[in-house]
């Protein structure tokens, strides 16, 4: 996701939050009486690395693994108007591949931990859109005659859309499609997750 496109998404969300009437702000139903609340999203699922992987000379190109599990933890403030905000973190393994030099085999992997400031807004009943920007902590792990690890901090963003099914007045179950983009290093994944949505406090 390019920086101008991401900026356009944020601008549209801000405009809609200003012009459209307030709706329900609890986790599970966007049609009830507006109410302020703190809401936690926790879950995980599948993610697929969407960019090319540059394998070094000793890497085995056919061993590249692009699909992996991903996890999300999101803490949101739902005010009495449409635009919500919070923080998000989680985990995903961007990719991994095998290496071999002579008879010595090893493995390289790159995983990421996002730390993002997130905006959210309900589109229609039970459908919410999310957009975030912040930092991705990139961890490279080389297992080859020992274990060598390196860490880097890069700028990144995400974009997601979810559909939430209410289980009761404080708990819901959401299916979410998510695009994660460490745009500074051009690493990105596209995936789908199942999340528990829990209203932990209301005001």
User: Which residues does 68 contact at the CB level (< 8 Å), separation at least 6?
Assistant: 46, 47, 49, 92, 93, 94, 95, 96
* Cβ–Cβ under 8 Å, residues 25 and 32: no
Domain limits for position 192: 3-202
User: What total number of domains does the chain contain?
Assistant: 1
What is the token pair recorded at 1? 């996701």
Is this prediction's pTM over 0.85?
Answer: no
Phi, psi of 44 (to 5 degrees): -165, 180
Pairing of strands 127-143, 84-101: unpaired
The continuous run of DSSP H or E covering 44 comes out as strand 37-49
**Token digits of residue 153:** 């901090």
Tally helices (H) and strands (E) across the chain: 1, 8
Helix, strand, coil distribution of the chain in percent, nearest 5: 10, 65, 25
Any idea what the CATH number is for the domain that residue 97 is in? 2.40.160.20
Separation between Cα atoms, residue 78 and residue 108, nearest integer Å: 41
pLDDT in tens, the chain (203 residues): 455 555 555 555 555 444 444 444 344 444 444 578 999 999 999 999 998 887 765 666 667 888 989 999 999 999 888 899 999 999 999 998 887 777 778 888 999 999 999 999 999 889 999 999 999 999 999 887 778 899 999 999 999 999 999 999 899 999 999 999 999 999 999 999 999 999 988 77
């Amino acid at each position: 996701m390019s920086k101008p496109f991401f900026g356009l998404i944020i601008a549209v969300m801000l405009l809609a939050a200003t012009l459209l009437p307030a709706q329900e702000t609890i986790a599970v139903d966007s049609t009830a009486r507006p109410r302020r609340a703190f809401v936690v999203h926790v879950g995980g699922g599948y993610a697929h690395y969407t960019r090319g992987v540059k394998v070094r000379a000793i890497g085995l190109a056919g061993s590249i693994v692009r699909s992996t599990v991903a996890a999300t933890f999101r803490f949101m403030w739902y005010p009495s108007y449409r635009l919500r905000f919070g923080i998000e973190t989680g985990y995903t393994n961007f990719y991994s591949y095998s290496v071999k030099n002579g008879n010595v085999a090893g493995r390289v992997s790159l995983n990421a931990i996002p730390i993002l400031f997130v905006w959210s807004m309900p589109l229609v009943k039970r459908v919410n859109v999310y957009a975030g920007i912040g930092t991705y902590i990139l961890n490279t792990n080389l297992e080859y005659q020992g274990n060598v690890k390196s860490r880097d901090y890069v700028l990144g963003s995400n974009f997601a859309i979810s559909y939430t099914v209410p289980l009761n007045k404080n708990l819901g179950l959401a299916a979410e499609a998510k695009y994660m983009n460490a745009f500074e290093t051009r690493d990105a994944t596209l995936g789908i997750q199942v999340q528990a949505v829990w209203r932990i406090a209301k005001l």
